[in-house]
Structure 1
Amino acid sequence: MSTAIVVGAGIGGVTAAVALQRCGWQVTVLERAPELGEVGAGISVWPSAVAVLEELGVKGVEKAAAVSKPAGMRKPDGRWVVEAADLGVEIPVMIHRAQLHDLITAEFGPAVTVRTGFTVTGVEQDDSGVSVRSADEELRADLVVAADGLRSVIRSALHPEHKGPQYSGYTAYRGIADVDTDDGGGETWGRGQRFGFARLIDGRIYWYATANQRAGQGGDHAAVTKAFGDWHDPIPKLLAGSATVLQNDIYDLALPLVPFTHGRVVLLGDAAHAMTPNLGRGACSAIEDAGALARHLTESTAPTPLSNESTAPTALSAESGALSAALAAYDAERRPATTKLVRRSRSIGRAGQLENRVVCAVRDGLFRLGGKLVSLRRPRSKVEQSPV
């Protein structure tokens, strides 16, 4: 049986483990944290990622119904810039990150072993396999999937020349409010600040906010309340109803992205293509990476139409050229697709964080006009809108 090591047990890493397991691989998941789990707030799961999860047997991620109340883009005083109804907006599944993580790891079977408290410090490979090291141990496998995040140790080791993470110029706040509101949600854009919210599938409200500031400046519940407490309802209510507020400076990876494969090592998720959260596509892209990797590994062993062999997925021989072909196909599919998302998300963030009053007025006017034009073209046009 072919063996794989997945470095990192975030959403992308655990999805990769389930995907490889279904391909017939023996998988070891390495996580540096002392316990398996996820922290954070809400996450949007778009239909393409839902389809991958369903294919992997992950249960409980249901399609979200369209909101019954108006939603879309507003000004801080509550005036509408454009309503979602005018854009024909698709509604993603909104779920807490920890809940999604639990649903995925529930599919771990005997072929998946999890080791926590394991910090990877390096990687080495040769023609017969690849090894990862910690301070006092070395593990070897046929394949390593690096899902170790924005500041990936493995990406840095393989591509020391790459510029790596770059600061966007703004920070983000996130929280979960257990309050009642019949507001449909959406985003509110001010000058150098944004606030958005959406209902999770468990009924709570996930909210997020962004503000221009220097990297490392920090922020807390009081800071986000001061910045957004006088914005339109129900924003003050959401802030007051949140027990915990998370604050993170926003980074993405410099372009061009490095190759997603290097010998027997595969980059996946933020390790490969960390993007700003303006499209809500980061975790979805990691899930799609895992699905694509499994598909290419399976296709590389699929019998020809004239073969009498079973068409059931089989483990890819790690000693054959099929592994190289599968990984090359993965890179060819996923790197161009995610490069577009990194670039597009960065552009949306820059527009959303504009501060000049006149430029912001022009920006809002263009959105309003765009909404009217899209509305005229419906139902042929679909426009994505998603939370940070």
Structure 2
Amino acid sequence: MPQSRRAIVIGGGIGGLTAAVALHQSGRRVTVLERASTLEPVGAGISLAPNSLRALDVIGLGDEIRDLAAWQGDGGLRTPSGRWLARTPADAVAERFGGPLVLLHRATLVNSLIARLPPGTVRTGAAATVVDPGAANRPARVSTPDGELQADLVVAADGIHSAVRRKLFPEHPGPVYSGFTTWRVVIPVPGVEFASHETWGRGSLWGTHPLKDGRVYAYAAAVVPAGGRAPDDERAELLRRYGDWHDPIPAVIAAARPGDVLRHDVHHLADPLPAYHRGRVALLGDAAHAMPPTLGQGGNQAIEDAVVLAHHCEDLAAYTAARLPRTTAIARQAARAARVNLTSNRALIAVRNTAVAALSQAAPMFLLRGFDSVAGWRPPQRPYASGRTPAGNR
């Protein structure tokens, strides 16, 4: 079988599937190899900013996702007592960034991506290993349980603990513990009304956001040693840490069952890679630039990677040149944000909260300036965002 137009994607997460769709639309024959036995995503929400929605527009999926997602409404930043430090009007955010911030379950996005691929494209239960990254004069080779495959492009979207990254860059130190753990839950919370918010405490935070289907997506983070687990269950741990915070946090915890709560330590790549490619293999998403979730950009940057890679798939050096500086800067910004958001120093907390409240009063949009370069990104391909306002979101 000719291999000149074949692409293999290792990893069936959001970044890998977006790359598969983009490459399929560019005329390549794509195979997605996913180690897990199913493509059921981790039960959590994902926030998509205008930058990744523009990337999804390139593959014809942007408006579908805008329709399926909840557009984040008016919200802001609070203290555990409930005091508002800053309020963020949704209309002003959309006007500043050229589009809304939207929120949906990861499974919804995954299902929409899979629907754009030919049947049989995705193979689950298919662990894959790069045997040879290839070169200009030979294809890359990938080992699978069913035998060896060859392709002129291999996309490594195999996550933060990427085996492909270790193969390509064995001297790189790999991921490090970010200093905090996270909890996430997606559940119905009947009878509770609230404005989207993120709340900063001492060495901890909480966020609560509504989904379009009526469920609530909540997340929490706390500075703790790596590898910890609750002595009983993680719902009880949330109750101990956040049960006396402002409404609706206690109600969300009360509505959760122990099995609803997911806990994961956060790791990131503190040292940037020297490149996002080697031979005919390209890295994207967490495999290339895992970052703390404090800017909500991990999945967004993977989606950006995917459409840029499809644009530069004949010249992977151009892909690295387009993506490495941007993602490195955003990863560093996310790490800085984590230090501010999750500080445990009482004096610094007082200074932080006073500064945020004062700036919010004096110049409401000032706090968003740091996000301009993130959300304002445009893909190299057209079409860009349609500008359509789907019914039922506003």
Question: TM-score under structure 2 normalisation?
Answer: 0.85
For residue 30 of structure 2, what is the aligned residue in structure 1? 27
For residue 303 of structure 1, what is the aligned residue in structure 2? none
For residue 67 of structure 1, what is the aligned residue in structure 2? 73
Q: Deviations over 1:362-385 (max 9, x none)?
A: 11112112223432779x968579
User: Do the aligned residues in 2 keep the contact of 1:230 with 1:236 (CA within 8 Å)?
Assistant: yes
Match of 1:341 among 309, 330, 335: 330
User: Do the aligned residues in 1 keep the contact of 2:268 with 2:291 (CA within 8 Å)?
Assistant: yes
User: Do the aligned residues in 1 keep the contact of 2:155 with 2:284 (CA within 8 Å)?
Assistant: yes
Change (3 A) 1:363 1:382: closer
Q: Deviations over 1:288-337 (max 9, x none)?
A: 1111112234xxxxxxxxxxxxxxxxxxxxxxxxx2xx211111111111
2: CA distance between counterparts of 1:160 and 1:363?
Answer: 40
For residue 258 of structure 1, what is the aligned residue in structure 2? 274
Most deviating of 253-262 and 23-32: 253-262
User: Do the aligned residues in 2 keep the contact of 1:88 with 1:383 (CA within 8 Å)?
Assistant: no
Match of 2:52 among 32, 49, 52: 49
Residue 229 of structure 2 corresponds to residue 188 of structure 1: no
Which structure 2 residues correspond to residues 167-186 of structure 1 after superposition, within 5 A? 167-179=177-189, 180-186=191-197
Gaps of 5+ in 1: 298-322
2: CA distance between counterparts of 1:28 and 1:261?
Answer: 19
User: Which AA in structure 2 matches 1:42?
Assistant: G
1: CA distance between counterparts of 2:248 and 2:279?
Answer: 52
Change (3 A) 1:121 1:66: closer
2: CA distance between counterparts of 1:187 and 1:77?
Answer: 12
For residue 129 of structure 2, what is the aligned residue in structure 1? 121
1: CA distance between counterparts of 2:308 and 2:365?
Answer: 36
Residue 186 of structure 2 corresponds to residue 197 of structure 1: no
User: Do the aligned residues in 2 keep the contact of 1:89 with 1:383 (CA within 8 Å)?
Assistant: no
For residue 210 of structure 1, what is the aligned residue in structure 2? 221
Residue 306 of structure 2 corresponds to residue 290 of structure 1: yes
Which structure 2 residues correspond to residues 1-388 of structure 1 after superposition, within 5 A? 2-58=5-61, 60-62=64-66, 64-65=70-71, 67=73, 71-85=75-89, 88-90=92-94, 91-109=100-118, 113-124=121-132, 125-126=134-135, 127-134=137-144, 137-179=147-189, 180-219=191-230, 220-243=234-257, 244-297=260-313, 323=314, 326-375=315-364, 383=371
SS at match of 1:289: helix
Most deviating of 56-65 and 279-288: 56-65
How many equivalent pairs are there?
Answer: 355
SS at match of 2:121: strand
User: Do the aligned residues in 2 keep the contact of 1:2 with 1:24 (CA within 8 Å)?
Assistant: yes
For residue 390 of structure 2, what is the aligned residue in structure 1? none
Q: Deviations over 1:241-295 (max 9, x none)?
A: 2230000001111222331111100001110111110111111111111111122
SS at match of 2:65: coil
User: Do the aligned residues in 2 keep the contact of 1:276 with 1:342 (CA within 8 Å)?
Assistant: yes
CA RMSD of aligned residues (A): 2.3
For residue 308 of structure 1, what is the aligned residue in structure 2? none
1: CA distance between counterparts of 2:117 and 2:127?
Answer: 21
Change (3 A) 1:94 1:19: same
1: CA distance between counterparts of 2:361 and 2:371?
Answer: 13
Gaps of 5+ in 2: 95-99, 376-394
SS at match of 2:64: coil
Most deviating of 53-62 and 156-165: 53-62
User: Do the aligned residues in 1 keep the contact of 2:359 with 2:366 (CA within 8 Å)?
Assistant: no
User: Which AA in structure 2 matches 1:234?
Assistant: P
Q: How far 1:65 moved relative to its partner?
A: 4.1
Most deviating of 267-276 and 53-62: 53-62
Change (3 A) 1:228 1:375: same
Change (3 A) 1:347 1:377: closer
1: CA distance between counterparts of 2:333 and 2:242?
Answer: 26
Change (3 A) 1:375 1:87: farther
User: Which AA in structure 1 matches 2:255?
Assistant: G
